[in-house]
Amino acid sequence: MRVSKIRKSLSRLYVQVLIGIVAGVLVGHFYPDVGSQLKPLGDLFIKLIRMLLAPIIFASVVVGIARMSDLHEAGRVGVKAVVYFEVASTIALAVGLVIVNVIKPGSGMNIDPAHIDGSAISTYTHAAQQHGILDFLMSIVPNSIVGAFANGDMLPIIFFSLLLAIALAKLGPRTAPFVDMLDMLLQGMFGIVRIVMYVAPIGAFGGMAFTIAKYGIGTLASFGQLMLCLYLTSVFFVVVVLGLVMRVSGLSLWKYLRYIKDEIFITLGTASTEAVLPQMLIKMEKLGCSRPVVGMVLPTGYTFNADGTAIYLTMASMFVAQAMNIHLTLWDQLLLLGVMLLTSKGSAGVAGAGFVALAATLASMHTIPVAGLVLLLGVDRFLNEARAVTNLIGNGVATIVVARWEGALDMNKARAMLDRDDTSLNALESTEALPAGRMPAEDAGMRSQSH
């Protein structure tokens, strides 16, 4: 009996990913020469997922909006999503700013800005030069559709998808065969995702082994206060702020976290929310959120609703200022918060995007030297895990909130899904009738993914 329970536990994706993370830490620490060569394992998994993102986001947005009976509904969902994104990001920035002023993790380091070599961050500062608000707005419109898909540029793809979906909706029923074909393509992409997920534990193992081998566990100790501050703030934001939001929405945060535990552990191991976007699209729809809302809110949330990145931006910038003994007045900090409301937008769900946004923030302020980011290079990869997981959880909550706000969330279905434990999930779903308009293969695939 015990052997069968162990075997059943080991068959679950989140357990396999957790084992991969722990094994990666051990290999990276005790065999750094080996660990430093395992980066391609993590990179390969991210590439496998990234190759699917463009067609998945394109098909999700187009199918969802094109099947809306009223285009005003699409506009209404979009406005509600933007309002929620702005409120959530502002709260995240404010929470980070308050806590970093209370704990002051950078105080006492007494770093002289004149003795810092900024060459190590030249790549990030160069990228930050193209991170202004005008550049951001211009980047939304692609130079060519083919180029946007080839480069995997999410914002241009979403923009084009919205325009195409609106055009198809205006053309009426005669576009139904094309929309159905895109829907079939989407189900095929989800099928590939389920295959790719078999290598998720290996990707998490390789990514963690490389991180520990390159930066060492000692790096954690030297910047422990900043890391502890960021992780505790992220936990506070998720538990208190998002917990309150979920309670108002009528659902349990804890049960929701249990529901997406696979995605949380994969994000923790890969430090990338992109790695689980296809799965999140499936799970949010299966939770009872309507497909149009999921197709619009979740992909755009990856760009506009980076709660974890918002917390990171305030804490990291204030940490650098405190380490260099740069005093910022209340007005300076409020101005910093306002700038971050802009620079935090457009941060992709990939590792390193938050660092570029931080460089853009400091470059636009001229108060804190951009070269001070060198202080964060050694621990940024560890900080990125906290912000990535927070972004992931926040975007799922955003989808639930907008769906509930729009009246497009099946509360009975949502509560039933969240109340099921791992043991009863498969048995209950196997006897469940297929939702209207849903392909049997898709429903079966979702059941397998729940494990």
Average pLDDT, the chain: 77
Q: Is residue 113 part of a domain?
A: yes
Distances (CA, A) of 191 to 187, 291, 373, 443: 6, 17, 41, 11
* Residues ≥6 apart with Cβ < 8 Å to 9: 15
* Residues ≥6 apart with Cβ < 8 Å to 213: 27, 28, 29, 31, 32, 33, 34, 35, 36, 38
Q: Is residue 145 part of a domain?
A: yes
Q: Is residue 441 part of a domain?
A: no
Give the pLDDT band (50/70/90) at residue 425. very low
Give the pLDDT band (50/70/90) at residue 123. very low
Give the pLDDT band (50/70/90) at residue 111. low
Residues 330, 336, 338: CA angle, nearest 5 degrees: 105
Please state the φ and ψ torsions of residue 409, each to the nearest 5 degrees. Answer: -120, 120
Distances (CA, A) of 165 to 69, 74, 148, 296: 12, 10, 17, 11
Give CA–CA dist 235/231, Å, rounded: 6
Give the pLDDT band (50/70/90) at residue 239. very high
Looking at residue 391, its amino acid is N
Q: How far does CA 56 lie from the centroid of its chain?
A: 16
Based on the structure, what is the number of domains in the chain?
1
Distances (CA, A) of 102 to 105, 131, 235: 9, 30, 17
Q: Is residue 251 part of a domain?
A: yes
Give Rg (Cα) of the chain.
Answer: 22
Please give the pLDDT value at position 115. 52
Residue 302 in this model has a pLDDT that exceeds 50: yes
The encoded tokens of residue 217 equal: 């566990």
Residue 448 in this model has a pLDDT that exceeds 50: no
Of 70-79, 290-299, 317-326, 339-348, the one with minimum mean pLDDT is 339-348
Task: List the CATH number of the domain containing 55.
Answer: 1.10.3860.10
The encoded tokens of residue 332 equal: 């300076």
Residue 219 in this model has a pLDDT that exceeds 70: no
Say whether 289 sits in a helix, a strand or coil.
strand
Share of the chain above pLDDT 70, in %: 77
The encoded tokens of residue 216 equal: 């060492």
Residue 10 in this model has a pLDDT that exceeds 50: yes
Q: Which of 63-67, 240-244, 296-300 has the highest mean pLDDT?
A: 240-244
Of 23-27, 81-85, 325-329, the one with minimum mean pLDDT is 325-329
Q: Is residue 2 part of a domain?
A: no
Tokens 């570029």 belong to residue: 356
Task: Please give the full DSSP string across 251-268, using - where no structure is assigned.
Answer: S-HHHHHHHTHHHHHHHH
Q: How far does CA 62 lie from the centroid of its chain?
A: 21
Give CA–CA dist 396/37, Å, rounded: 34
Q: Is residue 447 part of a domain?
A: no
- Is the Cβ–Cβ distance between 282 and 433 less than 8 Å? no
Domain extent, residue 151, equals: 13-419
Give the pLDDT band (50/70/90) at residue 351. very low
Looking at residue 66, its amino acid is A
Q: Is residue 427 part of a domain?
A: no
Residues 168, 173, 178: CA angle, nearest 5 degrees: 55
Q: Is residue 290 part of a domain?
A: yes
* Residues ≥6 apart with Cβ < 8 Å to 150: none
> For 188-199, what is the mean pLDDT?
84
